[in-house]
Amino acid sequence: MIQFDRVSVTYPDAARPVLREVTLTIDEGELCLVVGHTGTGKSTLLGAINGLVPHFTGGRLTGRVTVGGRDTATHPPRELADVVGVVGQDPTAGFVTDTVEEELAYGMEQLALPPAVMRTRVEQALDLLGLADLRHRGLYELSGGQQQRVAIAAALTAHPRVLVLDEPTSALDPQGAEDVLAAITRLVHDLGVTVVLAEHRLERVIPYADRIVHVGADGAVTAGDPAAMLATATVAPPVVQLARAAGWTPVPLSVRDARRRAADLRHRLPATPTQPHRTATTRQATALTAAGVSVRHGQVVAVREADLRLAAGEVVALMGRNGSGKSSLLWALQGAGLRTTGRVEVPTAAGPADPARMKPATARTLVGLVPQTATDLLYLDTVDAELAQADRDATVGGRARALLDEITPGIGGTAHPRDLSAGQQLALVLAIQLSAAPAVLLLDEPTRGLDYQAKAALAAALDRLSAQGTAIVVATHDVEFAATVADRVVVMGDGDVVADGPAQVVLTASPGFAPQVAKILAPLPYLTVAQVSAALAAADPAPAASHAYGGGGRP
Amino acid sequence: MLSGARLPRSLHPVAWWLWAIALATAASRTSNPLLLALIFAVLGLVVTARRGDAPWARAFRYYLYLALVVVGIRVLFRIVFGTGVTADDHVLLTLPQLSTPDWYAGIQLGGAVSVEAVLSAAVDGMRLACLLCCIGAANTLANPKRALRVLPGALYELGVAVTVALSVAPQLVESVQRVAKARRLRAGRARGIRALPAIAIPVLHDALDRSLRLAAAMDSRGYGRTGTATPGSRRITGVLMLSGMAGLCVGVYGLLDPTVPRPLGLGGLAAGTLACAAGLVLGGRRVSRTRYRPDPWRWPEWAVAAGGTLAAVVLAAGTGYDPAALNPSLHPLQWPTLPLLPAAAILLAAVAAFAAPPPPAGPARITAPAREPAVDPV
């Protein structure tokens, strides 16, 4: 179906090719998962399938890419629209019309299909992706998961034989992501569409993948059977890391497979973990107290009388579905956002202070917030300029560069902030906010779009900060991330605080919020692979060699 | 058969526009306040009966406010810049008069204000207000985006650009709000013009990124697939369109300037129209695409368009009744008479309220992004 024949891609001004001598054949009806670290040629590989690379992006492609017998060198993307459907990360970026039904028809209108065909295909696509009751709705009224399903349906109506999806779930909450992935697997099984999918959160898609294509940092591409590829890959979901620690071969890919294998492991492990999931650095001193905080936007009560006490050095994960009031609470705590009722106090040398009553410059020395779209804070041309500005704004200047190097070393000072990867941008914004040395740090969805490495770097940075006594709140959907960084988990639902307790308790209480390790080993209260490795090592030092892979615990 | 065409659906936007433009033409032909009031009544009736519940359908009242303002300004100006009174005029009130210098003669401030002058200003204003409300009614009754879809193939790109711009504008506003709010987090000390980069640059970056991704998405979905056009035919299209536009300009100028012989103006207009039409047809062949669920043109569309056009024709032709009744004299002051035939023609335009199918309930709602479920409210 798709053939890459000795394909290399080099972008202008780039020292080395993004893809090097790629030879790859993807067969009809295959679900092919593309993995690799951020900044490797994943998107380039996907873009080359429908000719966006190099027709749209520029750069130089050598070798030959053919899709359904058509050479992309002679067929620009629009001429391949009937063979390849493309869905991107942000569904709203690709919407051309304004209602669901018109959006589904748009591609077919461009292909000049007869009206009768369009009518039937729109109806089929509405049913296939469960959008029938949304057909007349405006696209911007829909939730993220619904929007992404519309984008997929819109690509499908042209009846492409290949569907290319570039991180389709990275901007969605877990439920929306589940819906989208369920829809994708149904397409593969019912329609036999060839799907090429790039995805960071491997734990969600690996069970469905027929093949894994790994894009290396040097641009080389290897492909193979998922279990075989993952046994050695540097990017691996917790279930695979657990399998490595427990020495299972072949590697199980889903929680179900792993659980069937885990009976023996559960037996071997002690009933209580030999070490906690993270070394607590919580101190006695209070870093922030919030009492009765409510936020009201018009008729909507976003946060209803929330109480929260943060201790110095504590890391709290704030969880809950989209729209449950996590962001509103963070913004209200910082003081930059709306706070309808309640009080927030941060102890200072001069007694308790309310950040909302301070000047912004003072408030950020008490409570720092990294917003969901971190790049909103960046407006200068170079990384150095941003850091210099941060030093000028800070009470104690000159630390921004050191802070940045501590979080993510090796970011060039002359680079443009917008050219950095998502992880590097987050590190830069974090460094800027930390240069004000706030006692409390709030992060809104920092893991969005980060790969395992960037997440591990972020987790390490948060560990260091909490050890220095900073209180941290991380709003996140990412259960695995919460399991590695959080001492305490607060769950919000519809504006209320639903649960508030130690991570160990909250994260194992319900399957919805449980990390993979907890699901596999339930009822044992283990959260991370590191805990399992440590317990195994304590019980039986012999198979310690197998810990080399997954010993870090951080995915 | 008849009921099928009248099931709830939205009427073809072109039918509404024809109807409204025809009524506007009718209104521009008369200064009889009774006829103008009748046109207002017809507009009000049809808009009330056949508008949907979309945001643009709630705009009619703003056109009404605007119309009132127009009448008010017109009357106020006539009172302030008086034109003096003749012996037969009825003086309504006398304002203190300001003397203007000799070189500024001809314009008088204040002075006596006659009933006739105020009335004629009011009627003039009413006529202008009526034209405004006709346009307002068309905008209220027809979905502006659907109206764009009936553009000829050659102008398709233009239509797409406008549609995209209409949907991107609210996103830009949202982006500005978000960035302005985030700025507080970094406590930028700059104020005024120096604070601009901190807001403008992230917003512009956002907008650029978005448009690039949109362009890539549209390209991937087949936008701009080449049709049957060759470079030669593309050149001919260009030449036809340009010369057609030039011809139209010459023609309109010729018709409006009395010193230019009339045949020249008419000829220029006709030639220009022909060349443009040919250009559009030829250009349309370049793009091959079909339309999903095009609005049908059935008998209600005919009825609505014909009702409006008839009113325009009757008022423009001026036969079958006393043409003077369309523009009743204010000297001497008298109650205007209602000419029967024009009144009946305008009333016929009100048939639109019954001939047009009722608007569909709820569908095709397009609102500004109320993105609550997609992103946490911040």
Segment A126-158, tens digit of pLDDT:
998 889 989 888 888 788 888 999 999 999 999
B74 is a domain residue = yes
Q: Distance (Å) from the C-alpha of residue B201 to the closest C-alpha of chain A?
A: 6
pLDDT at res. A98:
78
Q: How many CB atoms lie within 10 A of CB A230?
A: 27
Radius of gyration from C-alpha coordinates of chain A: 24
Residue window 59-88, chain A: list those with CB within 8 Å of chain B: 76-82, 84-86, 88
A93–B contact, CB cutoff 8 A: yes
pLDDT at res. B228:
60
Kindly tell me if the per-residue pLDDT of B363 is higher than 50: no
B41 is a domain residue = yes
From CA A357, how far away is CA A363, in angstroms rounded? 8
From CA A429, how far away is CA A79, in angstroms rounded? 41
Residue window 465-524, chain A: list those with CB within 8 Å of chain B: 475
* Residue B88: Cβ-neighbour burial (10 angstroms; 0-12, 13-18, 19+): exposed
Give rounded-to-5 percent helix, strand, coil for chain A: 40, 20, 35
Closest residue in A to B376 (Cα) is: A323
User: Which of A99, A107, A376 comes nearest B364 by C-beta?
Assistant: A99
Question: What CATH code would you report for A286-494?
Answer: 3.40.50.300
pLDDT at res. B74:
92
pLDDT at res. B368:
38
Q: How many CB atoms lie within 10 A of CB B207?
A: 15
- Share above pLDDT 70 across residues of chain B, in percent, rounded to a whole number: 89
Which of chain A's residues have a Cβ under 8 Å away from the Cβ of B182? 371, 373, 376-377
Asked if A336 contacts A363 with a C-beta cutoff of 8 angstroms, the reply is yes
B37 is a domain residue = yes
**Domain regions of chain A by residue span:** 2-235, 236-277+499-555, 286-494
Closest CA relative to residue B287, chosen from B340, B231, B359, B228: B228
Which of chain B's residues have a Cβ under 8 Å away from the Cβ of A77? 216, 219-220
Asked whether the beta carbons of residue B219 and residue A122 sit closer than 8 angstroms, the reply is no
Which of chain A's residues have a Cβ under 8 Å away from the Cβ of B209? 93
Residues of chain A with pLDDT under 70: 540-555
Which of chain A's residues have a Cβ under 8 Å away from the Cβ of B150? none
Asked whether the beta carbons of residue B182 and residue A376 sit closer than 8 angstroms, the reply is yes
* Total CB pairs under 8 A between chain A and B: 217
Asked whether the beta carbons of residue B217 and residue A94 sit closer than 8 angstroms, the reply is yes
Which of chain B's residues have a Cβ under 8 Å away from the Cβ of A436? 187
From CA B269, how far away is CA A413, in angstroms rounded? 64
User: Which of A147, A324, A361 comes nearest B187 by C-beta?
Assistant: A361
B367 is a domain residue = no
Asked whether the beta carbons of residue A78 and residue B223 sit closer than 8 angstroms, the reply is yes
pLDDT at res. A315:
96
Which of helix, strand or coil describes residue B112? strand
Which of chain A's residues have a Cβ under 8 Å away from the Cβ of B372? 300, 323
pLDDT at res. B190:
60
Instruction: Kindly report whether the peptide bond that precedes residue B332 is cis, defined as omega within 30 degrees of 0.
Output: yes
From CA B97, how far away is CA B110, in angstroms rounded? 4
The count of domains in chain B is 1
Asked whether the beta carbons of residue A363 and residue B164 sit closer than 8 angstroms, the reply is no
From CA B222, how far away is CA A544, in angstroms rounded? 56
Closest residue in A to B181 (Cα) is: A336
Per residue in B90-149, pLDDT (tens digit) is: 888 888 877 777 776 666 777 788 888 889 899 999 999 999 999 999 988 987 777 777
Which of helix, strand or coil describes residue B103? helix
Q: Which CATH superfamily is domain A2-235 in?
A: P-loop containing nucleotide triphosphate hydrolases (3.40.50.300)
Domain that holds residue B166: 2-223+232-288+297-355
A100–B contact, CB cutoff 8 A: no
User: Which of B202, B220, B223 comes nearest A378 by C-beta?
Assistant: B202
Per residue in B252-311, pLDDT (tens digit) is: 888 777 787 878 888 888 998 898 888 888 877 766 778 888 888 889 999 999 999 999
Asked if B52 contacts B107 with a C-beta cutoff of 8 angstroms, the reply is no
Per-residue confidence at B366, pLDDT binned at 50, 70, 90? Answer: very low
Beta strands in A217-330 (DSSP E): 221-224, 286-297, 300-311, 315-319
Per residue in A283-317, pLDDT (tens digit) is: 989 999 999 999 998 888 999 999 999 999 999 99
Q: Please, which residues have CB within 8 angstroms of residue A279's CB and are 6 or more apart in sequence?
A: none
B369 is a domain residue = no
Q: Distance (Å) from the C-alpha of residue A378 to the closest C-alpha of chain B?
A: 7
Closest residue in A to B217 (Cα) is: A94
User: What letter would DSSP give residue A414?
Assistant: T
pLDDT at res. A549:
41
User: Which of B214, B362, B378 comes nearest A331 by C-beta?
Assistant: B378
Per-residue confidence at B370, pLDDT binned at 50, 70, 90? Answer: very low
pLDDT at res. B364:
42
User: What letter would DSSP give residue A254?
Assistant: S
* Residue B141: Cβ-neighbour burial (10 angstroms; 0-12, 13-18, 19+): buried
From CA A60, how far away is CA A9, in angstroms rounded? 6
From CA A347, how far away is CA A380, in angstroms rounded? 34
Cα A348 to Cα A279, A293, A354, B187, distances in angstroms: 27, 20, 10, 19
Asked whether the beta carbons of residue B376 and residue A373 sit closer than 8 angstroms, the reply is no
Which of chain B's residues have a Cβ under 8 Å away from the Cβ of A297? 377
pLDDT at res. B227:
61
Which of chain B's residues have a Cβ under 8 Å away from the Cβ of A377? 182-183, 185-186, 202
ipTM: 0.84
Q: How far is CA A152 from the centre of its chain?
A: 19
Residue window 306-325, chain A: list those with CB within 8 Å of chain B: 322-325
Mutate to test the interface with B, among A376, A377, A474, A477 (most CBs of B within 10 A): A376
Which of chain B's residues have a Cβ under 8 Å away from the Cβ of A76? 219
Q: Distance (Å) from the C-alpha of residue A19 to the closest C-alpha of chain B?
A: 21
Per residue in B192-216, pLDDT (tens digit) is: 677 788 888 888 888 888 888 888 8
Closest residue in B to A151 (Cα) is: B217
Mutate to test the interface with B, among A56, A78, A100 (most CBs of B within 10 A): A78
Virtual torsion, Cα A258, A194, B213, A66, nearest 10 deg: 130
Per residue in B62-82, pLDDT (tens digit) is: 999 999 999 999 999 888 887
pLDDT at res. A205:
82
Mutate to test the interface with B, among A57, A109, A359, A420 (most CBs of B within 10 A): A109
Q: Mean pLDDT throughout B170-181?
A: 84
User: What letter would DSSP give residue A356?
Assistant: G
Which of helix, strand or coil describes residue A70? strand
Length of chain A: 555
Q: Distance (Å) from the C-alpha of residue B62 to the closest C-alpha of chain A?
A: 24
User: Which of A323, A331, A378 comes nearest B373 by C-beta?
Assistant: A323
Asked whether the beta carbons of residue B365 and residue A331 sit closer than 8 angstroms, the reply is no
User: What letter would DSSP give residue B210?
Assistant: H
What region, left, alpha or beta, does residue A29 occupy, with left being phi > 0 and alpha being psi -120 to 50 degrees?
left
Closest CA relative to residue B292, chosen from A157, A81, A146: A157
From CA A274, how far away is CA A524, in angstroms rounded? 12
Asked whether the beta carbons of residue A158 and residue B221 sit closer than 8 angstroms, the reply is yes
Q: Distance (Å) from the C-alpha of residue A376 to the closest C-alpha of chain B?
A: 5
User: Which of B184, B290, B366 comes nearest A113 by C-beta?
Assistant: B290
Q: Which two tokens stand for residue B358?
A: 């009722």
